[in-house]
Chains A and B, each alone.
Chain A
């Protein structure tokens, strides 16, 4: 009977710990949502309240807002652990690192991407997006925000050791998430125009299918590099 816990036990333990830490700082966890609300409000203020114009861009605005809001919480994803040695502990724990990385990325999505996927369509409807398109927006966000968490989290692991990592992280994450943005906003746009949103949603599915197995591996490699 080995004293080393199984990989699944370790994963559950990490998940519970991450969620507990985030719950203690739940005021901070709300920040991305507040940011999304404020940024969405900027657009009618800047562009004028003309309803048809706003409705036309509401899907794209929602997507950009969600992307930027996700960046806010990505920055701190690995920094605390790097500074207090928690990352070292994960590395020497003997547990499969990609699994632990996946847990970290998954809890990020649960606490940032998922709430944004719910808030996004509501914000877009406030800007005048028709309800049918709002459902497509919700679907695209549910497919796309995991990709943002997976990809963004990997890059956060890579930049965790840098002093001004927030800016560098944004410059790295935004170009790589452009395809997700294009597919997601494109699907909503198609719905608004009465066309089928299926192509955009399917391409988002492809991105997710690629990111799910590969990102944890890359994230584990990034964690190893950052710790040395």
Chain B
């Protein structure tokens, strides 16, 4: 077994995962915040205005990364859910649920910023076209997964039910992606082609976008690991390793009080 597989196996153990999360959380949060700040300032003040859209295109620097993350997190949820269903790994069950709230937040941001961008450019806050409708469905799916998990008492059963739902909902992701090619929609096709290296967006405008995309991923890492830690502590609360951590953190609180 090579080092990577071994690392993954070890990560499946709750105390190892908890320690891993502890180590990486601060780095993820601060680097994410820093990059987001850089990207936002760069995008707002240091890029040229668009020829056709004027200034409002600057919303792209939050709209597109948020939309990417909304879909990316859902895929992650479904993959983690699949691992949880097939191999019954507790940490995978927890990661799937821990990722959901942040993914929902990103999807909501994408919808809201898209709407605000649409008003000055398309003249309307909303259109029932394929991409907007399927992104709205994605938000409902997030609520559905979170709601289903919270409705079931037994944590492991709840996680497996939510995992199955997210796998079923996975069919929505290709619809969001390809809807702009399959139908005549108001939303434009992708300006950024990763696989074919043919982007129609000007390079000077591209960098803040990519930096913000990276920033959102780093922040998501922090948020998912934090919620995963909370879930782990809750579900393993009888175990010795949890007791040790709780005592240690209480002592730290006591020192600071």
Interface check A7, CB cutoff 8 A: no
Which residues 119-170 of A have a CB within 8 angstroms of B? 151, 154-155, 158-159, 161-162, 164, 168
B152 at the interface (CB under 8 A from A): yes
Distance in Å: Cβ of A153 to nearest Cβ of chain B: 12
Query: CB-CB < 8 A to A182: which residues of B?
Result: 133
Does the CB pair A158–B165 fall under 8 Å? yes
A85 at interface by CB-CB < 8 Å: no
- The secondary-structure label for the interface of chain A is helix
CA distance A176 to B133 in the complex (A): 11
**Interface range on chain B (Cβ under 8 Å from partner):** 20 to 34
Given contacts A218-B167, A225-B160, A225-B164, contact A171 B152 (CB under 8 A): no
Could you tell me if A225 and B148 are in contact, using CB atoms closer than 8 angstroms? no
Interface residues of B in 125-153 (CB under 8 A from A): 133-134, 137, 140-141, 143-144, 147-148, 151-152
Pick the residue among B141, B164, B175 that contacts A158 (CB under 8 A): B164
| Chain A interface residue count, Cβ-Cβ cutoff 8 angstroms | 24
Q: Verify A175–B152 contact, CB threshold 8 A.
A: no
Bound-complex Cα distance A182 to B134 (A): 11
Would you give the 0/1 interface string for B221-255, flagging 1 where the beta carbon is closer than 8 Å to chain A? 00000000000000000000000000000000000
Contacts of B134 in A (CB 8 A): 179
With contact pairs A175-B141, A176-B169 given, residues A159 and B148 touching in the complex (Cβ less than 8 Å): yes
A111 to chain B, nearest CB (A): 24
Q: A159-B148, A172-B148 are in contact. List 17 more A-B contacts (CB 8 A).
A: A154-B168, A155-B165, A158-B165, A161-B152, A168-B151, A171-B144, A172-B144, A174-B140, A175-B140, A176-B137, A176-B168, A176-B169, A176-B172, A178-B137, A218-B167, A221-B85, A228-B157
Chain B residues at the A interface, C-beta cutoff of 8 Å: 85, 133-134, 137, 140-141, 143-144, 147-148, 151-152, 157, 160-161, 164-165, 167-169, 171-172, 175
